[in-house]
Structure 1
Amino acid sequence: MPSAVAIPWGDEPPLELKLPDSWPEPEVIQPVLGGSIADYQAALTTALDAPMGGMDPIEALVGPGSTVAIVVDDPSRWTPVREALPIVLDRLRASGVSESDISISAGVGRHHAVDAEAMRRRVGDEVAASYPCFSPPVDDLAQYEDLGTTADGIPVRVFRPVAQADLRILIGSVLPHLQAGFGGGYKLIFPGTSHRSTLGAIHRVGLGGDAGALLGSIAEANPMRRAIRRAASLLGPCVSISHILGPPGQVFRVASGHPDAVQDHLAAEAARRYRSPAAEPADVVIAGNAPWPGDPMQSFKVLLNHRSACRSGGALVGLFWTDPTEIDRSFPMPVMRAIAATGAPGGVVMRRGLAMADRVTAASGSAASFMVRWARELVVDRDVLVYAPPLRDRIGPRLGPIRLFSDPDELRHRLARLMPSSGSAAPRVRIFPSGGLTYCPSASVKGP
């Protein structure tokens, strides 16, 4: 009988995952979580004093009359934004920069807008009260500066307070990303503070072939990251303050300096800590969404990050801790309910139709093309089962071809029935308890 596996479960006790009794012992892949920073303020100060990429410290880049746009990642990440901002703001003020010349924008891209309450939680009450804070409206072209077009045809339209500043300071983290290899750096602007036409064009650059071929890849080999860097060349100076994160409260590294130098340096460490060891694809892959916050739509990225670990025809299982208040942060509840209402027949139609929808949206240049590609690669050739009680209770047992569960025993019994039907009565199982950190790229990926 396989032993139970403890899955981190938000701020609750771990979820004890039990597999069918007849299955062999699973392989459990954990991230490398040693060596966290004991004194974050001291580590950030050291990083700011010694920037990477040949840049001068922030205070040497600005002075009285300078305008500064700070861009922070949105609440779907757990970057220590509140802790970093006071240190950065103190340096700017000491250099003579007026509070009225500093803005703070959340790099939301096409994620849910950050309202005033969420912004206060993100940046702190005092900062929110003292500085103009923005959640860029992705569709209001009047609020964007047109900086031209890159050589590969991407329109560069950036939120005006960010585009017009003398200096941009980007505060984020380097985590595995399905299209950009790793998130962080210039990605906070492209697509974080870009108009929908820009973010759609950048995402479409990364649609060629299997998404697993981009996950965890180095910048030089990643078409989306190259497109981001070309777009960034039309901006003025930028400084990146970026992190390697573990579970909330753990920071392993913080670095500052030129965004490209910081990105490449930290991506190499993220790969060392979080890339899955090479192995033959398993029959069943189970991934928890820890430490992602409880947004189920963002959590589906966890399954995509581990899709290459699962053989075609196998089963992908997501264990999604879900905050009931975050259920529709990334995907409107009415749309989810409409999909759920189609039941099993709708799931069959969607699975068959996604391949065609992928071809149509890619050919038409639709901004939705990358979402359709992810959906196709997730569900077309694997069974997808998700344990997320709040989501199951809200919309029912299905989200198109995806089966939802609120009872762990029901999930286990379903898995036991699936494997004999696929010829794997004693399946090989890989489990990623902290799937929001770990990732498994395609074997062909050239990683850092």
Structure 2
Amino acid sequence: MTMDTIALSYGHGHLDITLPPGARPTVIRKQQLPKLADSKAAIIEALHNPVASKPLADLAKNRESACILICDITRPVPNGLFLRPMIETMISSGIPQEKISVLVATGLHRPNLGDELVELVGDPWVLANVHVENHYARDEAAHVDFGFTETRHTPVKLDRLFAEADLRIATGLVEPHFMAGWSGGRKVIAPGVAHHETIRTFHSARFMEDPLAVQCNLIGNPLHEEQLEIVRMLGEVYALNTVLDEDRDLVCVTFGEIIASHQAAVDFVSAATQIPLSRKFSTVITSSAGYPLDKTYYQTIKGMVTPLDILKPGGTLIIASECSEGFGSPEFREAQARLVELGPERFLATLTAKSLAEIDEWQTEMQLKPMRLGSVELYTTGLAGEDRRLTGVGMIDNLQNAIARSITASGDPDVAVIPEGPYVVPRYAA
């Protein structure tokens, strides 16, 4: 690979892009964090020396049942590393094996079944020894009603399997999230195993348009605050949080009380993830972070929002995403069709009066952010025909030509390249 060729995360591998002659690239990556020498040993250590709680072996004593939440297939969480040691610890402490369950926190995404579930769990022993189920947000009977949050009156209904378990543990990946600040921890509960009314309430425009509902920000973030209140309403909950590097290797694991252990992981990764830059760019090239995040166009929008702090007004944001599974849900497709038909301003006007967002239209609302700032162009091999039109963004078949056009239009040869997409947060610091 030459100096003017850069590899973007794309699908299961990389997409090599060759910059046009004269382009001056600034490549933006996370700061390198040391890989854990022995991931399994690090997990055992975290379970033995937790944050603000007793060790797992002690927590599991005298419990009648347990439920472990795992993220769905859209997150590359190393479930295969930690599920078995957690479950074996629970069994050793006296929880009946048949009373231990693993629940896939799908939110309003589709269930993960068959071979995909095998891939997600990452350990055949787990599937053979405990119950593994998917959360279904539309199943009314499968939820417990906790009432409403006090501050913003969000209805709180959570999956019964988790809510009624004697020992409750959420597991996940701590990474920047373009609405909730950071993923993992409390977010695996809500929206992860919340009822559709709960999810649709705090994905409504009054939350989404809040200027503090952005990546890497927890202070004053209305989604984060609602999630914390939901956790408090639920009661005693613990979490195992992981942090991965660009190679998807484990660099940090924390376990303990859900809020404190999540904050410990955020504190570990925050400075390495947010990269300060002294200028903005007329051309920004990014990715959707490769598999599994770039499986759909729905998830791709995250990569469009994260780098906006360094995009000059009127600039061009170029994103590469495989979209190997195509567009996304039928509801998301309908929202995108309304966007294309109405245009951004009229589409947003249809959202602001709603107390309940339509399912998945919040992702279309997030797409308005880059569209308001500049032009968005998408390179993908996974969308065809009507799907390409419904993106509402420019479609490109040659990245080098698109970059050259943007440089010519702006007269600025400096381009920002973010190979790992939304897992890296560039910050403009004048």
TM-aligned CA deviation for residue 303 of structure 1: 1.7
1:383 to 362, 375, 379: 375
Task: Provide the C-alpha distance between the structure 1 equivalents of 2:18 and 2:93, rounded to a whole number of angstroms.
Answer: 57
What residue in structure 2 maps to residue 69 of structure 1? 67
C-alpha spacing 1:337/1:2, structure 2 compared with 1 (3 Å): farther
What residue in structure 1 maps to residue 224 of structure 2? 225
Deviations 1:392-444 (A, max 9, x none): x4657544431223x32xx33344334544xx223431110111420135779
SS of the equivalent of 1:241 reads strand
TM-aligned CA deviation for residue 64 of structure 1: 4.7
Task: Provide the C-alpha distance between the structure 1 equivalents of 2:172 and 2:387, rounded to a whole number of angstroms.
Answer: 36
Most deviating of 124-133 and 171-180: 124-133
Task: Provide the C-alpha distance between the structure 2 equivalents of 1:17 and 1:165, rounded to a whole number of angstroms.
Answer: 49
| C-alpha RMSD of matched pairs (Å) | 2.7
Say if 2:423 is the partner of 1:437: yes
Deviations 1:273-299 (A, max 9, x none): 111213332101111223442313212
What residue in structure 1 maps to residue 357 of structure 2? 367
1:401 to 382, 387, 392: 392
What residue in structure 2 maps to residue 17 of structure 1? 17
TM-aligned CA deviation for residue 301 of structure 1: 0.5
TM-aligned CA deviation for residue 2 of structure 1: 7.8
Task: Provide the C-alpha distance between the structure 2 equivalents of 1:367 and 1:337, rounded to a whole number of angstroms.
Answer: 11
Deviations 1:290-345 (A, max 9, x none): 344231321221121112211121111112244x3x334x4349938995xx9xxx
C-alpha spacing 1:336/1:3, structure 2 compared with 1 (3 Å): farther
What residue in structure 1 maps to residue 135 of structure 2? 136
What residue in structure 2 maps to residue 274 of structure 1? 273
Task: Provide the C-alpha distance between the structure 2 equivalents of 1:431 and 1:442, rounded to a whole number of angstroms.
Answer: 15
Deviations 1:224-247 (A, max 9, x none): 111101011111311110011123
What residue in structure 1 maps to residue 312 of structure 2? 311
Most deviating of 362-371 and 243-252: 362-371
1:358 to 328, 336, 348: 348
Corresponding letter in the other structure for 1:162: F
Give 1:211-250 correspondences, 5 Å limit.
Answer: 214-217=214-217, 219-247=218-246, 249-250=248-249
TM-aligned CA deviation for residue 163 of structure 1: 0.8
Give 1:16-35 correspondences, 5 Å limit.
Answer: 16-23=16-23, 25-35=24-34
C-alpha spacing 1:103/1:177, structure 2 compared with 1 (3 Å): same
Task: Provide the C-alpha distance between the structure 1 equivalents of 2:118 and 2:15, rounded to a whole number of angstroms.
Answer: 31
What residue in structure 1 maps to residue 110 of structure 2? 112
Deviations 1:371-402 (A, max 9, x none): 342021132332111111122x4657544431
SS of the equivalent of 1:234 reads helix
**Contact residue 147 and residue 156 of structure 2 kept, 8 A:** yes
Task: Provide the C-alpha distance between the structure 2 equivalents of 1:197 and 1:333, rounded to a whole number of angstroms.
Answer: 15
Most deviating of 14-23 and 267-276: 14-23
C-alpha spacing 1:267/1:289, structure 2 compared with 1 (3 Å): same
TM-aligned CA deviation for residue 265 of structure 1: 1.6
TM-aligned CA deviation for residue 70 of structure 1: 0.6
2:401 to 406, 410, 413: 413
Task: Provide the C-alpha distance between the structure 2 equivalents of 1:262 and 1:146, rounded to a whole number of angstroms.
Answer: 26
**Contact residue 208 and residue 366 of structure 2 kept, 8 A:** no
Most deviating of 39-48 and 129-138: 129-138
Deviations 1:199-234 (A, max 9, x none): 1222336323447x62111x3332211110101111
SS of the equivalent of 1:109 reads coil
What residue in structure 2 maps to residue 86 of structure 1? 84
Task: Provide the C-alpha distance between the structure 1 equivalents of 2:334 and 2:296, rounded to a whole number of angstroms.
Answer: 11
**Contact residue 167 and residue 238 of structure 1 kept, 8 A:** yes
**Contact residue 22 and residue 413 of structure 2 kept, 8 A:** no
Task: Provide the C-alpha distance between the structure 1 equivalents of 2:300 and 2:417, rounded to a whole number of angstroms.
Answer: 16
SS of the equivalent of 2:284 reads strand
Task: Provide the C-alpha distance between the structure 2 equivalents of 1:67 and 1:304, rounded to a whole number of angstroms.
Answer: 41
C-alpha spacing 1:440/1:366, structure 2 compared with 1 (3 Å): farther
Task: Provide the C-alpha distance between the structure 1 equivalents of 2:419 and 2:306, rounded to a whole number of angstroms.
Answer: 13
Task: Provide the C-alpha distance between the structure 2 equivalents of 1:33 and 1:327, rounded to a whole number of angstroms.
Answer: 32
Task: Provide the C-alpha distance between the structure 2 equivalents of 1:265 and 1:206, rounded to a whole number of angstroms.
Answer: 26
Corresponding letter in the other structure for 1:286: I
Say if 2:407 is the partner of 1:428: no
Most deviating of 227-236 and 14-23: 14-23
- Structure 1 residue runs of 5 or longer lacking an equivalent are none
**Contact residue 143 and residue 157 of structure 2 kept, 8 A:** yes
- Structure 2 residue runs of 5 or longer lacking an equivalent are none
TM-score (norm 2): 0.90
Most deviating of 76-85 and 240-249: 240-249
C-alpha spacing 1:400/1:15, structure 2 compared with 1 (3 Å): closer
SS of the equivalent of 2:141 reads helix
SS of the equivalent of 2:115 reads helix
Task: Provide the C-alpha distance between the structure 2 equivalents of 1:399 and 1:156, rounded to a whole number of angstroms.
Answer: 33
Deviations 1:150-170 (A, max 9, x none): 112111100100111111111
Task: Provide the C-alpha distance between the structure 1 equivalents of 2:159 and 2:55, rounded to a whole number of angstroms.
Answer: 25
Most deviating of 220-229 and 370-379: 370-379
Task: Provide the C-alpha distance between the structure 2 equivalents of 1:436 and 1:215, rounded to a whole number of angstroms.
Answer: 9
**Contact residue 285 and residue 318 of structure 2 kept, 8 A:** yes
Most deviating of 290-299 and 263-272: 290-299
Corresponding letter in the other structure for 2:155: P
Task: Provide the C-alpha distance between the structure 2 equivalents of 1:267 and 1:34, rounded to a whole number of angstroms.
Answer: 14
Task: Provide the C-alpha distance between the structure 2 equivalents of 1:87 and 1:338, rounded to a whole number of angstroms.
Answer: 43
Task: Provide the C-alpha distance between the structure 1 equivalents of 2:18 and 2:142, rounded to a whole number of angstroms.
Answer: 52
Corresponding letter in the other structure for 1:365: S
Most deviating of 363-372 and 40-49: 363-372
**Contact residue 348 and residue 365 of structure 2 kept, 8 A:** yes
**Aligned residue pair count:** 422
C-alpha spacing 1:261/1:292, structure 2 compared with 1 (3 Å): farther
SS of the equivalent of 1:380 reads helix
TM-score (norm 1): 0.86
C-alpha spacing 1:248/1:99, structure 2 compared with 1 (3 Å): farther
